[in-house]
Amino acid sequence: MTSLVPDISDAYETLPHLPAWVTQGHRETPEDVAYLSGATLSHLHLVFTRDDVPHGLLRERLALRAAELGVTHSGRPERAPDLRDAVNLLRDGDLPGPAGEVYLAWRRAVERPISVASLHRALPGHALEALELWLAAGQGAPVARAAGVLEAVLAEAPRAHLAALILADAALAQALGWSHLVPLLSIGLKRADLRLTGAQLHLACHRALHIAGIEAVQLLTDLTRRTARLRAVAPKLRAKGAAEAVALFLTRDAVAPTALPLPDRAARRLCDRLVQLGAIRELTGRDTFRLYGV
């Protein structure tokens, strides 16, 4: 019996795996922690230079993860499915709610190259001049620079956790030569870590980057495999607007059929077809108001 899904064995080159001594390394001393975080960042930098990985989709998934953790730390009950609904099912004139605003901030922070203007778009509640000063507050190597930004923001605005984490991850990305912000510190840091200063905060940032970097590499490996499958089945699609729809799925965490450049019925048929081909998944488990993603 012929498979519905084309062979994708040659569709992408397997990404290099993190060695076991990094993923299973013991963070027993400050030197161990710094060494392992450096090794993890070096590996991330290596895979981020590749053209065959879905950079935009990775940033979107990590933005969702960062938003979920931030909302959890603030004591709110919303989780990833709720955040997806809050943003992707918005209608004109609707408000996303406090948790949805956090998710929107992260999405805006990761979707454009880093600049003070793009960060202000994500954090409109803070003055452009303040964001510029905070982003320049860190000095030294990448992790020290990011920790310095984190500390500077929270010293001036102790409750501005969202701004502090977005700016710290932006400073880290800039120091590493990345064009876009990648949520890492925001995923690895614990709420209690945000009360630390000086050397203790630097150490917490190293520990956080080791943890979050491993998660990011594992996610990127999975997304690269999944997007290769989507690209492989794309030539089988005959619907007008299918190419534009595939482009959305390759860059967005979740897509509602109504967001696709097709009539409603055609959009739902295309989503069902892509699910049948194993190229995307239905993310909600609902019969109505469905969302789809790689």
| Cα separation, 59 vs 107, whole angstroms | 8
Are both 127 and 266 inside the same structural domain? no
SS3 at position 281? strand
CATH code at 267?
1.10.10
- Domain stop point among 203, 225, 247: 225
- Domain stop point among 202, 225, 248: 225
Q: Determine, yes or no, domain membership for 44.
A: yes
Are both 188 and 163 inside the same structural domain? yes
- Amino acid 223 reads L
Are both 151 and 254 inside the same structural domain? no
| Cα separation, 62 vs 42, whole angstroms | 18
- The residues, any chain, with a CB within 8 Å of residue 189's CB and separated by 6 or more, are 165, 204, 205, 208
As a whole number, mean pLDDT of residues 167-175 equals 98
Are both 166 and 247 inside the same structural domain? no
H-state helical runs in the chain: 20-23, 30-48, 55-73, 80-88, 97-111, 116-122, 128-135, 142-156, 161-176, 185-188, 198-233, 242-249, 264-276
Q: Determine, yes or no, domain membership for 84.
A: yes
Rounded to whole angstroms, what are the CA distances from 107 to 34, 84, 95, 100, 133? 29, 11, 16, 10, 22
In this predicted structure, the answer to whether residue 46 has a pLDDT above a threshold of 90 is yes
| Cα separation, 82 vs 95, whole angstroms | 14
Q: Determine, yes or no, domain membership for 20.
A: no
pLDDT band at 13 (very low <50, low <70, confident <90, very high): low
Q: Determine, yes or no, domain membership for 50.
A: yes
Structure confidence by residue, pLDDT tens digits, 123-161: 999 999 999 999 999 999 999 999 999 999 999 999 999
Question: What count of other Cβ atoms lies within 10 Å of the Cβ of residue 206?
Answer: 25
- Domain stop point among 199, 225, 251: 225
SS3 at position 211? helix
Are both 182 and 265 inside the same structural domain? no
For all residues of the chain together, what is the average pLDDT?
A: 94
198-233 helix and 142-156 helix, angle to the nearest 10 degrees: 110
Are both 221 and 242 inside the same structural domain? no
Are both 145 and 242 inside the same structural domain? no
Q: Determine, yes or no, domain membership for 260.
A: yes
* C-alpha torsion 258→8→178→121, nearest 10: 0
Q: Determine, yes or no, domain membership for 278.
A: yes
- The residues, any chain, with a CB within 8 Å of residue 95's CB and separated by 6 or more, are none
Greatest Cα-to-Cα distance within the chain, rounded to the nearest angstrom: 65
Are both 216 and 71 inside the same structural domain? yes
Q: What is the extent of the structural domain holding 288?
A: 237-293
Cβ(233)–Cβ(6) below 8 Å: yes
Query: How many domains does the chain contain in total?
Result: 2
Q: Determine, yes or no, domain membership for 2.
A: no
- pTM attached to this predicted model: 0.94
Are both 37 and 67 inside the same structural domain? yes
In this predicted structure, the answer to whether residue 8 has a pLDDT above a threshold of 90 is no
Are both 218 and 244 inside the same structural domain? no
Are both 157 and 260 inside the same structural domain? no
Q: Determine, yes or no, domain membership for 60.
A: yes
Rounded to whole angstroms, what are the CA distances from 175 to 14, 114, 141, 172, 245? 28, 11, 7, 5, 35
As a whole number, mean pLDDT of residues 220-232 equals 95
Are both 80 and 147 inside the same structural domain? yes
